[in-house]
Amino acid sequence: MHKAPTTAHQHVAPEIGEVLELLEIAWERSRDALGTAPLSAAQTRVMYLMEREPGINLSALGRHLSAAAPSVTRLCDRLQAAGFLRRFPHPRNRREVQVELTESGLAHLRDIRRRREQVLRRTLDRMPLDAQLALAAGLRALSEAAGESAEAPLRRETA
């Protein structure tokens, strides 16, 4: 019998899965520091998409989220009520509604990132520098392989 050659991903995938499980546990323990309050995770995900694609329309937002139009509208209604987004008509198609984050919405994302980075820095401080650099390179490659370009422009400003 011919045995298939062992590939690195057969050994790495379970390790990455284990790390993801640990991150979920850490997330639950550190909900105050890592959470997205007063927003839900879904609302925060919408804000990340809007930040990456300013002026995105509701249809495209729905496709990104794999969500029906009424669900997307309700999410946006809540974000608008919180003062985190504004809606405006498309300049060439008045029937199409576009959305973008307000300064308050951008500030909220900066605050989430700042808190998460503080927690992450404390963990990274316990790792050797070469391991930190290898982790960053590996995560960048994983992100690219997953279809999310690590080079995608993000409006990340640290407070």
pLDDT of residue 33: 63
pLDDT of residue 47: 94
pLDDT of residue 153: 43
pTM, 2 dp: 0.71
Helices assigned H by DSSP within 8-159: 8-29, 31-34, 41-52, 58-65, 69-81, 103-124, 129-145
pLDDT of residue 149: 44
pLDDT of residue 84: 96
Is residue 57 packed enough to be buried (19+ CB in 10 Å), middle (13-18) or exposed (0-12)? Answer: middle
Q: What is the rounded end-to-end Cα distance, in angstroms, of the chain?
A: 60
In order of 16, 59, 74, 146, the CA distances from 65 in angstroms are 24, 10, 13, 16
Give the CA angle between residues 114, 132, 112 to the nearest 5°: 15
Question: How far is the C-alpha of 70 from the C-alpha of 84, rounded, in Å?
Answer: 19
Q: How many CB atoms lie within 10 A of CB 71?
A: 13
Percentage of the chain modeled with pLDDT above 90 = 37
pLDDT of residue 31: 65
Which residues in the chain come in under a pLDDT of 50? Answer: 1-2, 5, 149-159
pLDDT of residue 119: 82
pLDDT of residue 93: 83
